[in-house]
Amino acid sequence: MSQDRPDMRISDAERELVVAQLNTAVSEGRLTLAEFEERVDGVLRSRTVGEIEPYVGDLPQKGPIAAPEQQEIRNRSSNLKRVGRWTVPRKLLISTRAGSVKLDFTEAQFSSQLVEVRLEARSSSIELVLPRGATADIDSIAPHSSSLKQKVPAAYDPAGSGIVFRIGGEVRSSSVRVRYQRRFWRWRW
């Protein structure tokens, strides 16, 4: 958490990461259950970085945002699928050759409102499933014998108030699809 701006507002995802840090402290024996409950109540009521700091200031600092600034996903001749809860870094590099990559961001926690995705794909398919309200800019993708499909609003859409994905890179003989999660009655895909 940045000490430079104690007045900066925090997101729900950051609060959840602080609660996870407190949960770890309980499991390590650093806090009693009573202290844990008191601190969790305080964290959930907090609105700024400065308000959260007293609840975690005496614990080992791992930072509330566990995501690194940048992460690389490599895939070679296989299928890779990431779904459920995971922390998304600000910069994501996807490198795939002769494979299939599907990243589902619908339940993910974001460390930033802007996510930069860099693609390096050859003979592959990439599918990005964005959370509702997110926008995407795919204008920086250089396709060579490839197909690009965008089923979400563009990043420069003034109505979009959620996470912004900036997707760029180079794809050769590949397909890239950016969409929202589909729902039909009880099924999601």
Model pLDDT for residues 1-60, shown as the tens digit of each residue = 444 566 778 887 788 888 888 888 888 888 888 888 898 999 889 888 888 888 888 887
* Final residue in a domain of this structure, among 48, 65, 82: 65
Are residues 105 and 120 part of one domain? yes
* Count of all residues that appear for the chain in the document: 189
Please report the pLDDT score of residue 138 as a whole number: 93
Are residues 102 and 40 part of one domain? no
Name the residue range of residue 129's domain. 70-188
Site of tokens 């007293």:
54
Are residues 172 and 113 part of one domain? yes
Are residues 107 and 88 part of one domain? yes
Name which of 141, 152, 83 is nearest 117 in CA terms: 141
Are residues 55 and 38 part of one domain? yes
Are residues 155 and 98 part of one domain? yes
Mean pLDDT estimate for the chain? 84
CB 116 within 8 A of CB 95: no
Are residues 42 and 13 part of one domain? yes
Q: Is 71 helix (H, G, I), strand (E, B) or coil?
A: strand
Model pLDDT for residues 104-118, shown as the tens digit of each residue = 999 888 878 889 999
Are residues 139 and 84 part of one domain? yes
**Residue 62: is its pLDDT beyond 70?**
no
Please report the pLDDT score of residue 188 as a whole number: 60
* Domain count of the fold of the chain: 2
Are residues 34 and 106 part of one domain? no
Q: Which sign does the torsion angle of CA 33, 46, 91, 88 carry?
A: positive
pTM of the predicted model as reported, rounded to 2 decimal places: 0.63
Are residues 86 and 42 part of one domain? no
Please report the pLDDT score of residue 71 as a whole number: 87
CB 147 within 8 A of CB 176: yes
Model pLDDT for residues 83-107, shown as the tens digit of each residue = 888 888 889 999 999 999 999 999 8
* Final residue in a domain of this structure, among 20, 50, 65: 65
List the structure tokens of 71: 């992460």
